[in-house]
């Protein structure tokens, strides 16, 4: 059977995961959060004492790291580092930074590519990340590039972090978003960019709710 795939790319805090999760539920597809995979490796680097910015130190960790993705009974994606469920631990702000840093290393991207493609070989997927439409699934059936201004994204990310009990303020979150945008778009290995055939969706000023219905309609049309 030929499975369908939908790629959702865009910068941090654009609402990719909320949107992709809801679209996946509406379509009956598996939601794959690829950022969680980079976050798990970022967490491993931090715990191992390897500087996430040091390509040779991080590359040396790859043969020994065990990263696994699994779906719990509730349908949610869980990440495992060895036997430990790190689904919550990878959401800490310091892990966001480490994930962005390790993701700029070409050997890391090669190492994690197959895990991502394998999910799409075995399921109908809606996959979110930075390079899904350009590198991971260049033949995806539908490609979406979701974006919003840095300020809008920082507001969304701040609400998320506060809800998880993190003590952060708006200016710190905005500075982190701007620094991550810079790193994710300027790196030479699979930088964040809109695929030529991707549909651009700018959610600035809109609630994700408002964008959702229109996007679901468009996706259904394109899938036919």
Which CB atom, from 10 or from 212, has the smaller least distance to ligand DC? Answer: 10
Compute the least distance from the CB of residue 103 to ligand DC, in Å.
Answer: 3
Compute the least distance from the CB of residue 122 to ligand DC, in Å.
Answer: 19
Q: Residue numbers of the site for ligand DC (CB under 6 A)?
A: 12, 34-35, 38-39, 96, 99-100, 103, 129-132, 180, 184
Compute the least distance from the CB of residue 58 to ligand DC, in Å.
Answer: 13
Quick check: helix, strand or coil at residue 196? coil
Compute the least distance from the CB of residue 213 to ligand DC, in Å.
Answer: 24
108: CB partners within 8 A, 6+ apart: 38, 41, 58, 59, 62, 102
Which CB atom, from 12 or from 124, has the smaller least distance to ligand DC? Answer: 12
What is the DSSP annotation of 2-45? Answer: PPPEEEEE-STTSSHHHHHHHHHHHHTPEEEETHHHHHHHHHHH
Which CB atom, from 29 or from 52, has the smaller least distance to ligand DC? Answer: 52
Which CB atom, from 132 or from 219, has the smaller least distance to ligand DC? Answer: 132
Q: In which order are the strands placed within the sheet that holds 125-129? A: 30-33, 125-129, 5-9, 142-147, 199-202
Spatial distance between the Cα atoms of 138 and 197, rounded to a whole number of angstroms: 10
């Amino acid at each position: 059977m030929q499975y369908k795939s939908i790629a959702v790319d865009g910068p941090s805090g654009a609402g990719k995961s909320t949107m992709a999760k809801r679209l996946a539920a509406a379509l009956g597809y598996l939601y794959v959060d690829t950022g969680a995979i980079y976050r798990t490796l970022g967490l491993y680097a931090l715990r191992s004492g390897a500087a996430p910015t040091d390509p040779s130190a991080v590359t040396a960790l790859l043969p020994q790291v065990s990263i696994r993705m699994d779906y719990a009974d509730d349908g949610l994606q869980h990440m495992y580092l060895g036997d430990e469920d790190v689904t919550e631990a990878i959401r800490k702000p310091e892990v966001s930074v480490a994930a962005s840093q390790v993701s700029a290393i070409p050997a890391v991207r090669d190492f994690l590519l197959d895990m991502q493609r394998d999910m799409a070989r075995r399921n109908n997927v809606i996959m979110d990340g930075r390079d899904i439409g350009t590198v991971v699934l260049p033949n995806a059936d539908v490609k979406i590039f979701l974006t919003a201004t840095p300020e809008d994204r920082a507001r969304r990310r701040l609400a998320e972090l506060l809800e998880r009990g993190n003590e952060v303020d708006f200016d710190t979150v905005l500075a982190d978003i701007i620094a991550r945008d810079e790193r994710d778009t300027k790196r030479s290995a699979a930088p964040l960019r809109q695929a030529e055939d991707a549909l651009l969706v700018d959610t600035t000023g809109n609630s994700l709710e408002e964008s959702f219905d229109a996007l679901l309609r468009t996706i259904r049309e394109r899938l036919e």
